[in-house]
Amino acid sequence: MSQVDKSQSDPQSPPSSKGRLKLILLILLVDLLGFTLVVPLLPRYADLAGFSPTRIGMLMSAYPFCQLFAGPILGRLSDRYGRKPILVASQMGTTISFLILAFTKQFEFMLLARMLDGASGGNILVAQSYVADVTPPKDRAKSFGMIGMVFGMGFILGPTLGGFLSGIDLGPNSLRLPFLVAAMFSMIAWIIVAIKLPESRPAGSNLGTESRVIGREGVRTVMRDHRLQLLVLASALLIMGWSSLEGTFSLFLKRRMGYTPSQASWAFAFLGFVGAFGQGFLIRRLVVRFGEKKLVVAGMCTLIVGFLMLSQVNMTVLLLPALVVVGLGQGMANPSMTSLVSRSSGPAVQGAVFGAMTSAQTFARMLNYSFANQLLGRFGEAAPFYTGALALVLGLVVVRLAIRRLNADPLDSHSHGA
């Protein structure tokens, strides 16, 4: 028995690092299928329950709000007690949250479910730490790129499945089915973690800062570097603009276009496909030719145009080209921004800097989920796209200033602890 335990905690023993990487990526995909299945339908579900725009915004904001605080706690607990037990506990929390959503239309219980899911949402951050544990440093960029690919697959397959399930007529309880299926996916991920996933770190082991997702070191590093300050601010404004669509798109499609829940899910799936094409195929070719600095500017400009196009859409024939523009813009801007931050921070603090950027983005998303739904309720369906475009214009100004400073003061002049 002791030999078996030892083999599971020893990174050099079977299963191989490659095998554990495939397993954690599978777990992430199954988990994301549940998440992306629910997100497009949640505002519609809340709207059918008769909730005000304020309450819908609170439901959308509860997840990132709790994730913002729970992520660092779960990260530290996984450092101390190991990745597996924290993944098991957080996965169960996500399963319970989906079950609550499936069986209630009371605002207080739905809010509790979203808060529980947000508090459990740090499991994605713990999974990223697991990937760092089982991947040699020279292969980590490739491994984290595979995480991005899994996210892209999740944001295509989840809404597609949601569109199919929400098209099944079960009477007044039709929208319960996607939440129950999401709970099933989360339970499957929980079972795989509990039974198949070996621990990547012995409990109580002393970990370096590179496994930390969010921490004070990242904030200090960003605040000391004028270039990183601007890049992190620009990345937060990018996400703030994007969340104007993310948090209101389902209701926009219902009120402006008359879309059913099934049709709205298909629209989300189409947007996910275009974004995945941009991030997984197009960006690789464009970055070699133009570089990240030009691409992040081009991507944000494209997003602004796409948002203005969406604000005028009133039929499907106009919606699809607008979604192509928006998806390609996000597909160019987001990975280019991430790459710029990576190139502007030394390897010794890169994980901490990414943690600070993640915190800033989560905070921006939390604020705008609520604000965008308020705008939609008060000023109409187009209002969130106008304010989203404004946030992107501000982000464009900030990123241009950051690029100017990067050109004048390259990474070589800063050690960042490297």
Which one of 203, 228, 253 terminates a domain? Answer: 203
Which one of 203, 233, 265 terminates a domain? Answer: 203
- Does residue 166 belong to any structural domain of this protein? yes
User: Same structural domain for residues 103 and 222?
Assistant: no
3-state secondary structure the chain: CHHHHHHHHCCCCCCCHHHHHHHHHHHHHHHHHHHHHHCCCHHHHHHHCCCCHHHHHHHHHHHHHHHHHHHHHHHHHHHHHCHHHHHHHHHHHHHHHHHHHHCCCCHHHHHHHHHHHHHHCCHHHHHHHHHHHHCCHHHHHHHHHHHHHHHHHHHHHHHHHHHHHHCCCECECCCHHHHHHHHHHHHHHHHHHHHCCCCCCCCCCCCCHHHCCCCHHHHHHHHHCHHHHHHHHHHHHHHHHHHHHHCCHHHHHHHHHCCCHHHHHHHHHHHHHHHHHHHHHHHHHHHHHHCHHHHHHHHHHHHHHHHHHHHHCCCHHHHHHHHHHHHHHHHHHHHHHHHHHHHCCCCCCHHHHHHHHHHHHHHHHHHHHHHHHHHHHHHCCCHHHHHHHHHHHHHHHHHHHHHHHHHHCCHHHCCCCC
User: Same structural domain for residues 235 and 183?
Assistant: no
- Does residue 28 belong to any structural domain of this protein? yes
| Residue 209 pLDDT > 50 | no
- Does residue 6 belong to any structural domain of this protein? no
User: Same structural domain for residues 33 and 159?
Assistant: yes
User: Same structural domain for residues 110 and 23?
Assistant: yes
Give Cα 37 distance to the centre of its chain: 14
- Does residue 2 belong to any structural domain of this protein? no
For the chain, how many structural domains are there in total? 2
| Residue 395 pLDDT > 70 | yes
Is the pTM higher than 0.75? The answer reads yes
User: Same structural domain for residues 147 and 219?
Assistant: no
**What number is the average pLDDT over the span 353-360?**
77
Q: Each residue of 35-48: pLDDT tens digit?
A: 888 888 888 888 88
| Residue 143 pLDDT > 80 | no
User: Same structural domain for residues 233 and 147?
Assistant: no
User: Same structural domain for residues 184 and 223?
Assistant: no
User: Same structural domain for residues 180 and 94?
Assistant: yes
Q: Quick one: pLDDT at residue 391? A: 96
| Residue 5 pLDDT > 60 | no
Q: How far apart are the first and last CA of the chain?
A: 42
- Does residue 5 belong to any structural domain of this protein? no
Q: Quick one: pLDDT at residue 222? A: 65
User: Same structural domain for residues 231 and 361?
Assistant: yes
- Does residue 17 belong to any structural domain of this protein? yes
User: Same structural domain for residues 196 and 222?
Assistant: no
As a whole number of angstroms, the distance between CA 60 and CA 367 comes to 10
**What number is the average pLDDT over the span 89-95?**
89
Which one of 183, 203, 223 terminates a domain? Answer: 203
Range of the domain at 118: 11-203
**What number is the average pLDDT over the span 214-239?**
76
- Does residue 352 belong to any structural domain of this protein? yes
**CATH number (domain holding residue 358):** 1.20.1250.20
> Are the CB atoms for 203 and 86 separated by under 8 Å?
no
As a whole number of angstroms, the distance between CA 392 and CA 111 comes to 29
Range with the poorest average pLDDT among 2-16, 29-43, 51-65, 142-156:
2-16
Phi-psi region of 182 (alpha: psi -120 to 50; beta: other; left: phi over 0): alpha
- Does residue 208 belong to any structural domain of this protein? no
User: Same structural domain for residues 196 and 220?
Assistant: no
Range with the poorest average pLDDT among 24-38, 117-131, 380-394:
117-131
**What number is the average pLDDT over the span 76-100?**
86
User: Same structural domain for residues 197 and 224?
Assistant: no
> Are the CB atoms for 117 and 93 separated by under 8 Å?
yes
Reference 47, options 260, 316, 313; nearest CA is: 260
